[in-house]
Amino acid sequence: MPKRKLDPLPSAAFHILLALADNVLHGYGIMRQVEQQTNGGIRLGPGTLYSSLQALVEEGLIEEVDRSPAAAKGTERRRYYRLTSSGRKLAHHEADRMADLLRIARAKKILRGEYV
Amino acid sequence: MSEQLFAFLLRLYPAAFREKYRDEALQLYRDRLRDETGTFPRARLYVDLLADAATGLPQAWRNSYAVSNAPSFAQITESMPSFRLLEKEKLRPEFIAMGSTLSVLVLIGFGLFMSLPSPFRPLPNSRNPKSPIESVMERLNHSTSPQPDGSGPDGFEVAGVVPATPGALTARGQSGAVDVPTGSAPKIDPAERQRVVQAVAGNLQVHYYDHEKAQNASAAILALEQRGAYDAIVDGPDLAVRLTSDLRSSTHDLHLIVEYSSRSLPNQPVNPPAALPAVVSEQYRQAMKQQNCTFEKVEILPNNIGYFKLNSFPDPAVCGAEARAALQNLNQADAIIFDLRDNGGGQPDMVAQMSAPLFDHSVPWFNPRANPSSTMLSPAYRSKLANKPVYILTSTLTHSGAEHFTYNLKMLKRATIVGENTAGSAELGAFHRIDDHFGMGIPETPIANPYGKPDWELIGIAPDVRVPAADALATAEKLALEYRKN
């Protein structure tokens, strides 16, 4: 029985879950999406990206889907991924946990502002 | 970073990872290469890839690829025995090269280790160590016919029973005491072989001072005999050699020995040396007088180097005054050379008397033939030699008592040994007759060595400066001169 690798959820895995929240994406697409949603702060390299994808698949948090027709007819060999319901649930939990942390941070005057 | 380089980087990932994601990872790399043009984005890409390797690699190896690929232990045990592929990948050439290199290095290391001198093997240059049987035969020869050249009984006896070494001037190996023919080796039959093994085991248990080791070694050779390990041995000398080797490897005691003599061994017990007839003592006294106590030369060499050539360490009761006088003559020298190249041994008491003037304080003293074997040696007063450099000249003919002198001064770091490896004859075991042809030497009391090293039995004493015996004197003179200049 392999040890659960996503407890606690690594930052890269959470970003991938978020990237797939409203999209079906392939590896490069996920990388770009993560880069975009973090304002260029995080660019997942292939090692981190595919290791995380594999771990997420193994945990049933995301799943591979059939290739898009556009990719299927080309020579490129890409896998596409989408969020599963348990993945969505976990992402929700993680976001909740972070929101709690934010509330605490604000209460402690570590973080200011009304947003988030 | 070229694509090949990135592909090489990917090879560091687990095989299962590569199998599944290699193409996609390469595709991702190409995509980024295509999209991120310009110096800065390109440089950032390379930094990203390197950083990714640092963080992604451990993560990739933590994933369950290997585990999921390999059958679990439970699966293996639950099913019938079968071959399973643990790793689909072929063995890479670099791994084969690395494995081969490592094997060769281990082999070379093992070879070097085996070639080191070991206290449990005789060295090639420790030739002709005297065995208890030789000693017995010589002892008999001595007591029945004292040698006309005046060489008397030797104080180095075998555990107080049998004198071991020849007279002072008798060349080692020329006594002919053990008449082992060089032609066909004497044969033994299975019954005799079994009898000898049992007798060796029995003698060991009765006489060896360490009863536990004796039990173990006896049990070992009896078990070997039972298993038929000695069945192929049909020659007496071969059996003796094999039993000696087995006893030594079991007890780690070099002083144990089994010997074969083609000449029939005497049946009567040998007289202890303490009971030597008075006439022999008188003959010895006369012989020593004629031979100047075997002190061949006592002189001052150029550059005020004292030179003392002595060919034995005679009994101090007979030659004590002569020995003192000899050293007194050299008392003003700046250095002293003891020439033991032709010294066949002698009395431990004389060894101690000769050593005492070389110290100005008490030193731990080893005398393997005394009980206790470890005592203190008091310095001789009014000796000016205590702070002078000492050189000892050795050869392969340096035996027994001469080795005792050399060994102790070497261990005490009081002398520089110049010449050849000494003969390696300590002969500390008491002789026990097994039958007409077989006998064995067994140490009956423990030998405590204050210097914590193996004594010189079989291995001899290695010189500090190794030169042929013929060049030893010139070398020592040179060393003494250099020492004075410095």
Per CB-CB distance under 8 Å, the chain A contacts of B10 are 46
- Does the residue B161 lie in any domain? no
- Whether residue B344 is found in the same domain as residue B401: yes
Q: Give yes or no for B71 touching A (CB within 8 A).
A: no
Q: Which residue has the tokens 């010997």?
A: B259
What is d(CA B102, CA B140) in angstroms, rounded to the nearest whole number? 58
- Whether residue B233 is found in the same domain as residue B325: no
**End residue of a domain, out of B206, B225, B260:** B260
- Whether residue B321 is found in the same domain as residue B467: yes
- Does the residue B269 lie in any domain? no
Shortest alpha-carbon distance between residue B53 and chain A (Å): 6
Which among B191, B175, B161 is positioned nearest to B268, based on CA atoms? B161
Per CB-CB distance under 8 Å, the chain B contacts of A28 are 27-28, 31-32
- What pLDDT does residue A30 have? 93
**Residue B456 neighbours by CB under 8 Å, 6+ apart:** B403, B404, B406, B407, B422, B424, B425, B426
Higher pLDDT, B302 or A66: B302
The answer to whether the CB atoms of A2 and B68 lie below 8 A apart is yes
Tokens of B415: 């002398």
- What pLDDT does residue B268 have? 54
- Whether residue B427 is found in the same domain as residue B310: yes
- What pLDDT does residue B278 have? 54
Q: Are strands B390-394 and B335-339 parallel, antiparallel or unpaired?
A: parallel
- What pLDDT does residue B274 have? 47
What is d(CA B325, CA B66) in angstroms, rounded to the nearest whole number? 85
The secondary structure element, H or E, covering residue B300 is: strand B295-301
Report in angstroms the alpha-carbon separations of B352 from B160, B194, B232, B236. 18, 45, 48, 40
- Whether residue B249 is found in the same domain as residue B290: no
Question: Per this entry, what is the length of chain A?
Answer: 116
Within 13 A of B348's CA, how many CA atoms are on the CB side? Answer: 23
- Does the residue B235 lie in any domain? yes
Per CB-CB distance under 8 Å, the chain B contacts of A79 are 24
**Residue B315 neighbours by CB under 8 Å, 6+ apart:** B152, B155, B284, B288, B346, B347, B349, B350
- Whether residue B239 is found in the same domain as residue B305: no
Q: Which domain holds residue B404?
A: 286-485
pLDDT band at residue A66 under the 50/70/90 scheme = confident
What is d(CA B35, CA B41) in angstroms, rounded to the nearest whole number? 9
Residue B457: DSSP 8-state: T
- Whether residue B448 is found in the same domain as residue B313: yes
Q: How far is CA B68 from the centre of its chain?
A: 55
ipTM summary value: 0.81
The answer to whether the CB atoms of A55 and B48 lie below 8 A apart is no
- Does the residue B58 lie in any domain? yes
Based on the structure, what is the number of domains in chain B?
Answer: 3
What is d(CA B396, CA B127) in angstroms, rounded to the nearest whole number? 8
- What pLDDT does residue B60 have? 78
Residues of chain A whose beta carbon is less than 8 angstroms from a beta carbon of chain B are 2, 5, 26-28, 31, 43-55, 58, 76-79
Q: Which residue has the tokens 């060769």?
A: B104
**End residue of a domain, out of B95, B115, B135:** B115
Q: Give yes or no for B15 touching A (CB within 8 A).
A: no
- Does the residue B93 lie in any domain? yes
- Does the residue B156 lie in any domain? no
- Whether residue B12 is found in the same domain as residue B104: yes
Tokens of B51: 């950083």
- Does the residue B162 lie in any domain? no
- Whether residue B214 is found in the same domain as residue B315: no
The secondary structure element, H or E, covering residue B260 is: strand B257-260
Q: At what angle do helices B15-35 and A27-37 cross, to 10 degrees?
A: 60
- In this structure, the number of other CB atoms found within 10 A of the CB of residue B108 comes to 10
- What pLDDT does residue B443 have? 81
The answer to whether the CB atoms of A43 and B64 lie below 8 A apart is no
- What pLDDT does residue B471 have? 93
- What pLDDT does residue B81 have? 56
Residue B449 belongs to domain with CATH number: 3.90.226.10
Residue B439: DSSP 8-state: E
Percent pLDDT > 90 in chain A is 39
Q: Which of B8, B9, B28, B69 to mutate to test the interface with A (most CBs of A within 10 A)?
A: B28
Per CB-CB distance under 8 Å, the chain B contacts of A55 are 59, 63
- What pLDDT does residue B337 have? 95
- Does the residue B146 lie in any domain? no
Which among A52, A56, A107, A46 is positioned nearest to A84, based on CA atoms? A56
Nearest CA in chain A to B30: A28
What is d(CA B353, CA B348) in angstroms, rounded to the nearest whole number? 9
Nearest to A31 among B21, B28, B65 (CB): B28
Per-residue pLDDT tens listing for chain B (486 residues) = 678 888 888 888 888 888 888 888 888 888 888 888 888 888 888 888 888 888 888 877 777 654 444 444 444 444 555 555 555 556 778 888 899 999 999 999 998 888 765 444 444 444 444 555 555 555 544 444 343 433 333 433 333 333 333 333 333 333 333 444 444 557 888 888 888 998 999 888 888 888 888 999 999 999 998 988 898 888 888 898 899 889 888 888 877 888 888 777 776 554 444 444 555 577 788 888 888 899 999 999 999 999 999 999 998 888 988 999 999 889 899 999 999 999 988 888 899 999 999 998 889 999 887 878 888 888 887 788 888 999 999 998 898 889 999 999 999 999 999 999 998 877 677 778 888 888 888 887 777 788 887 888 778 899 999 999 999 999 999 999 988 887
Segments in chain A forming alpha helices (H): 11-19, 27-37, 46-58, 69-73, 85-107
Tokens of B403: 């080795």
- From the CA atom positions of chain B, what is the Rg in Å? 34
- Whether residue B2 is found in the same domain as residue B79: yes
The answer to whether the CB atoms of A77 and B62 lie below 8 A apart is no
Per CB-CB distance under 8 Å, the chain A contacts of B49 are 45-46
Q: How many CB pairs under 8 A join A and B?
A: 83
Q: Which of A31, A53, A54 to mutate to test the interface with B (most CBs of B within 10 A)?
A: A54
The sign of the dihedral angle between the CA atoms of A46, A48, A53, A58 is positive
- Whether residue B293 is found in the same domain as residue B407: yes
Q: Give yes or no for B340 touching A (CB within 8 A).
A: no
The answer to whether the CB atoms of A78 and B24 lie below 8 A apart is yes
The answer to whether the CB atoms of B57 and A47 lie below 8 A apart is yes
Nearest CA in chain B to A47: B56
Q: What domains lie within chain A, and their CATH numbers?
A: 11-107 (1.10.10.10)
The answer to whether the CB atoms of A28 and B28 lie below 8 A apart is yes
- What pLDDT does residue B305 have? 93
What is d(CA B62, CA B65) in angstroms, rounded to the nearest whole number? 8
- Whether residue B252 is found in the same domain as residue B324: no
Nearest to B62 among A5, A26, A27 (CB): A5
What's the whole-number mean pLDDT along residues A36-47?
A: 88
The answer to whether the CB atoms of A46 and B63 lie below 8 A apart is no
- What pLDDT does residue B134 have? 54
Q: What is the pTM of this model?
A: 0.47
Per CB-CB distance under 8 Å, the chain B contacts of A52 are 59
Is the CB of residue A27 less than 8 Å from the CB of residue A56? Answer: no
Per CB-CB distance under 8 Å, the chain B contacts of A64 are none
Residue B429: DSSP 8-state: S
The answer to whether the CB atoms of A47 and B67 lie below 8 A apart is no
The answer to whether the CB atoms of B27 and A28 lie below 8 A apart is yes
